Amino acid sequence: MFSADAIYVQVFSDRFIVKNIDTDRSLVVERNLEYASPRMLIADFTTALNQLTDAVKSLRRGIFAPAPQILVHPMEQIEGGVTQIEYRVFRELALGAGASKAAIHVGPVLAGESIKLAIREDKQWQASKAV
């Protein structure tokens, strides 16, 4: 029986770096900059969702594996922190890409077990779960 894959998504203005922590496979997805915005990392939600969904599907261990847990890590344009709207965009992006659980991380780059720990300890997830 499979456990849920942990997927780490680094969001840059021009690309996603998507890594399956459990299989150590990763992809770099070049973002469609036709609809880019200098003010937001995700200006065209639908295009970003389609690109991320395709990447997550290609990195999963199989079609019968449980839905992955996804940690989204905005890497640029986060001076002063992440607003509630940005947080919601990143969360909805991960959930729309098939995540059973979506977490957001702002801070240093993570690796290995620290990614799984960040998903488990996501405070926004715990707050929304209590509602």
Q: What is the pLDDT of residues 86-120, one digit of tens each?
A: 999 999 999 999 999 999 999 999 998 999 999 98
Is the model's pLDDT at 80 over the cut of 90?
no
Q: What is the pLDDT of residues 4-43, one digit of tens each?
A: 899 999 999 999 999 999 999 999 999 877 777 888 889 8
Overall average pLDDT of the 46-63 stretch? 92
Query: Which of 118, 18, 16 minimizes the C-alpha distance to 8?
Result: 18
Overall average pLDDT of the 73-85 stretch? 89
CA angle 47/4/54 to nearest 5° reads: 20
Confidence class for position 124, pLDDT limits 50, 70, 90: low
* pLDDT score of 3: 83
Overall average pLDDT of the 64-89 stretch? 90
CA atoms of 119 and 110, how far apart (whole Å): 11
Overall average pLDDT of the 52-65 stretch? 90
- Number of helices (H), then strands (E), belonging to the chain: the values are 4, 5
Domains and their CATH numbers in the chain: 6-130 (3.30.420)
The residue among 55 and 124 whose pLDDT is bigger is: 55
Confidence class for position 126, pLDDT limits 50, 70, 90: very low
Q: Is the CB of residue 16 less than 8 Å from the CB of residue 64?
A: no
